[in-house]
Structure formats: structure tokens, C-alpha cells
Amino acid sequence: MKIIIINGPNLNLLGKRENDIYGDETFNDFFEKLQQKYPKIELAQFQSNIEGELIDKIQETGYSFDGIILNAAAYTHTSVAIGDAVRAIKTPVVEVHISNTFSREDFRHKSYIAPNAKGIIVGFGLQSYELALQSFLK
């Protein structure tokens, strides 16, 4: 089974960025542990701060991978184009957020991804990604 985690803008700063909200762990450390815990799953990861690069990666993996775990970060709340890309592909997408976006500012309550996602997982810290991964194991 091939699953890719696609992370949007500023998620390259995990471990350094607003630690009270996003925690102390870097994404690479977390990703390494996740791959060790699920050795049978072929895990890939991609991060970009650029909207078009995220769309390119969604298109590129959206017909061959078994699942996409997508944290589009701030683009979640603004990007019609990423929402359309998720709708266009065949691979199921689970939307994740580290923080509980619904307990934060109103502008974070809107998601252009959610209507086209298989499901959404928000608010469990980095564990949100693991819960999304488990959803593909069924």
C-alpha cells in the first residue's frame, strides 16, 4: 500500500513554529517513527509552501497512490484550486490538521478540501496523521 503525506505552507517549520499550538517535534522525526511503526506501508512525504506545487503533487499521485493524507495548512481555508484538485483525482484524500481548527479563529473553520475529502481528522497533534493512516488500513 502506497500512501503519501502532503504538507502545505509553513509546515516545514514544525518543531520551531508556535510550539504551544504545533508541538516540539520536527515533521521528519515524526515521519521516520511513523514509517518504522508501519513497515508494510510504503510511505512518502512532500512539503511545499507553493500552492501550484501542492496541486502538481496531488495530480501526480492522485491516480497511482492508495491514499493521500493532506494538510494544506492555510491554503485549506483559501484555495479553490486545491479543493478542485482533490475532487479531480481518483485516490482518496483524508484532510488532517494538527490543531483543532474549529477552536481557533473563524477563518479557520472554512475548508475548501473537506467537501471533496473522504474524511477529516483535526486537533490530535501529529497523531492526526497516524489516525489518517489507520483509516486507510481498513
CB of 108 to ligand DQA, least distance (A): 4
22 flagged as catalytic:
yes
Q: Which is nearer to ligand DQA, 1 or 13 (CB)?
A: 13
**Binding piece for ligand DQA, criterion CB under 6 A, among 39-47, 48-56, 73-81, 87-95:** 73-81
What order of strands is seen across the sheet that includes strand 119-122?
42-47, 2-7, 67-71, 93-97, 119-122
| Sequence-ordered alpha helix ranges (H) in 10-114 | 19-22, 27-37, 51-61, 80-88
For 24-59, b/e burial (b = at least 16 CB within 10 A) is: eeebeebbeebeeebeebebebbbbbebeebbebbe
Q: Which is nearer to ligand DQA, 18 or 42 (CB)?
A: 18
97 flagged as catalytic:
yes
Q: Does residue number 114 form part of the binding site for ligand DQA (CB under 6 A)?
A: no
Separation between Cα atoms, residue 39 and residue 23, nearest integer Å: 25
CB of 29 to ligand DQA, least distance (A): 17
77 is annotated as contributing to ligand binding: yes
Q: Does residue number 54 form part of the binding site for ligand DQA (CB under 6 A)?
A: no
Among candidate residues 75, 97, 112, 129, the one labeled active-site is 97
Active site residues: 22, 97
Query: Which residues line the annotated binding site for substrate?
Result: 71, 77, 84, 98-99, 108
